[in-house]
A and B are shown apart, each in its own frame.
Chain A
Amino acid sequence: MEISILILPLVASIISGLFGKYIGDKYSGYITSILISISAILSIVVFYQVIFNQYENNIVIATWINSGSLAVNWSMKIDPLSAVMLVVVSLVSSLVHVYSIGYMHHDPHKPRFMSYLSLFTFSMLTLVTSDNLIQLFFGWEGVGVCSYFLIGFWFKRESANSAAIKAFIVNRVGDFGLAIGIFLIFYFFGTVNYSEVFALIPTIVDQEFSFLGLEVKKIDLICLLLFIGAMGKSAQIFLHTWLPDAMEGPTPVSALIHAATMVTAGVFLVVRCSPIYEYSPVILNFITIVGMTTAFFAATVALVQTDIKKIIAYSTCSQLGYMFFAAGVGAYNVAMFHLFTHAFFKALLFLGSGSVIHAFKDEQNINNMGGVLKKLPYTYILMIIGTLALTGFPFLSGFYSKDAIIEFAYLKGNTVGYYAAGIGIFTAFLTSIYSWRLIFKTFHGDYNNKKIKIEETHESPIIMLLPLALLAIGAIFAGISFKELFMGQGSENLFWGNSIKFLNPLSADHPPFWFIVLTPTLILLAIPIAYYLFVRNKQIPIKIADINKPLHNFLVNKWYFDELYEVLFVKPSKIVGLFLWKFCDVKIIDGFGPDGISLFIKKCSIKANKFQSGFIYQYAFVMLLGFSVLLTFLIIK
Chain B
Amino acid sequence: MNFPILSSLILLPSIGSIFLFFSKSNDSKNLAIKYIALFTSIVNFLISIYLLIVFDSSTPAFQFVEDKIWLEGFINYKVGIDGISILFIILTTFISLLCIISVNNSVKTRLREFLIAILIMESFMIGVFCSLDLLIFYLFFEAGLIPMFLIIGIWGGPKRVYSAFKFFLYTLLGSVLMLVAIISIYWISGTTDIVKLYEEGIDPKYQNLLWLAFFSSFAVKTPMWPVHTWLPDAHVEAPTVGSVLLAAILLKMAGYGFIRFSLGLFPIASEIFTPLIYILSLVAIIFTSLIALMQEDMKKLIAYSSVAHMGYVTLGIFTLQQQGIEGSILQMISHGLVSAALFLCVGVIYDRMHSRMISSYGGIVSIIPKYSVFFMIFTLAALGLPGTLGFVSEFLILMGAFIDNFLVAVIASIGVILGAAYMLWLYKRVVFGELTNSDLAKMNDLNSSEYFILISLAIPILFFGFYPDPIINIIEVSVKNLIETYNLNLISK
Binding site for B on A (CB under 8 A): 62-70, 74, 134, 137-138, 140-142, 145, 148, 152, 155-156, 158, 161-162, 164-165, 168-169, 172-173, 175-176, 179-180, 183-184, 186-187, 211-212, 573-574, 576-578, 580-581, 584-586, 589-590, 593-594, 597-598
Contact = CB atoms under 8 A, between A and B. Distances in A.
A632 B326 CA distance: 69
Interface in B177-194: none
A412 to B, nearest CB: 33
Contacts of A74: 466
A594 B396 contact: no
A597 B173 CA distance: 12
Contacts of A168: 420, 424
Contacts of A594: 166, 169-170, 229-230
B453 interface: no
A140 B391 CA distance: 13
Contacts of B398: 179, 183
Contacts of B229: 585-586, 589-590, 593-594
Contacts of A155: 363, 365, 431-433
Contacts of B399: 70, 183, 186
A142 B407 contact: no
B402 A169 contact: no
B478 interface: no
B468 interface: yes
B380 interface: yes
B466 A577 contact: no
Given A62-B467, A183-B399, A183-B402, A585 B424 contact: no
A589 B226 contact: yes
A155 B431 CA distance: 9
Contacts of B466: 64, 74
A65 B468 contact: yes
A580 B291 contact: yes
Contact of A158 (B380, B421, B433, B467): B433
B290 A576 contact: yes
A206 to B, nearest CB: 20
Interface residues of B, number: 60
A141 B409 contact: no
A134 B396 CA distance: 11
Nearest to B415: A176
Interface string B244-259: 0000000000000000
B159 interface: no
B291 A141 contact: no
B439 to A, nearest CB: 18
24 contacts: A65-B395, A66-B472, A67-B472, A70-B396, A74-B466, A155-B363, A155-B433, A156-B433, A164-B428, A165-B424, A173-B417, A176-B413, A179-B395, A183-B398, A186-B399, A187-B402, A211-B406, A573-B293, A577-B294, A580-B287, A584-B226, A589-B229, A590-B229, A598-B165
Contacts of A173: 417
B199 interface: no
Given A69-B322, A169-B424, A578-B294, A161 B402 contact: no
A75 to B, nearest CB: 14
B19 interface: no
Contacts of B395: 65, 134, 179
Contact of A64 (B321, B403, B467): B467
B396 A141 contact: no
Given A67-B476, A172-B420, 19 more contacts: A65-B395, A66-B473, A67-B472, A158-B434, A161-B433, A162-B428, A165-B424, A169-B421, A172-B416, A179-B398, A180-B409, A573-B421, A574-B293, A577-B292, A578-B294, A589-B226, A589-B227, A594-B229, A594-B230
B392 interface: yes
Q: Residue among B327, B363, B395, B472 with the most chain A CB within 10 A?
A: B395
A486 B382 CA distance: 43
A64 B421 CA distance: 27
B174 interface: no
A543 B243 CA distance: 64
A50 B422 CA distance: 45
Interface in B290-321: 290-295, 321
Contacts of A138: 386-387, 391
B413 A142 contact: no
A594 B290 CA distance: 23
B371 to A, nearest CB: 14
A65 B290 contact: no
Contacts of B294: 574, 577-578, 581
B75 interface: no
A167 to B, nearest CB: 10
Contacts of B409: 180, 183
Contacts of A145: 380, 385
9 A-B pairs with least C-beta separation: A68-B322, A577-B290, A138-B386, A577-B294, A183-B402, A155-B432, A581-B291, A577-B293, A172-B417
A3 to B, nearest CB: 15
Interface string B36-68: 000000000000000000000000000000000
Q: Residue among B226, B402, B420, B473 with the most chain A CB within 10 A?
A: B420
A129 to B, nearest CB: 15
A585 B291 contact: yes
Contact of A65 (B170, B387, B396, B417): B396
A25 to B, nearest CB: 15
Contacts of A158: 433-434
A158 B291 CA distance: 24
A425 B365 CA distance: 49
B469 interface: yes
Interface in B142-170: 165-166, 169-170
B410 interface: yes
B363 to A, nearest CB: 7
Contacts of B433: 155-156, 158, 161
B409 to A, nearest CB: 6
Contact of B432 (A161, A175, A573): A161
Contacts of A152: 428, 432
Contacts of B406: 211
Contacts of B292: 577
Nearest to A585: B229
A169 B420 contact: yes
B414 interface: yes
B323 interface: yes
Contacts of B472: 65-67
A161 B396 contact: no
A180 B226 contact: no
A140 B386 CA distance: 9
A534 to B, nearest CB: 37
B452 interface: no
Contacts of A148: 424
B425 interface: yes
Contacts of A69: 322
Contacts of A186: 399, 402
Contacts of B326: 67-68
B469 A63 contact: yes
Nearest to B169: A594
Contact of A165 (B391, B410, B428): B428
B291 A68 contact: no
A175 B414 CA distance: 10
Contacts of B386: 137-138, 140-142
Nearest to B401: A183
Contacts of B327: 67
A204 to B, nearest CB: 16
B388 to A, nearest CB: 10
Q: Residue among B290, B326, B413, B416 with the most chain A CB within 10 A?
A: B290
A15 to B, nearest CB: 16
B300 to A, nearest CB: 9
Nearest to B290: A577
B425 A165 contact: yes
Nearest to A74: B466
Contacts of A179: 395, 398, 413, 416
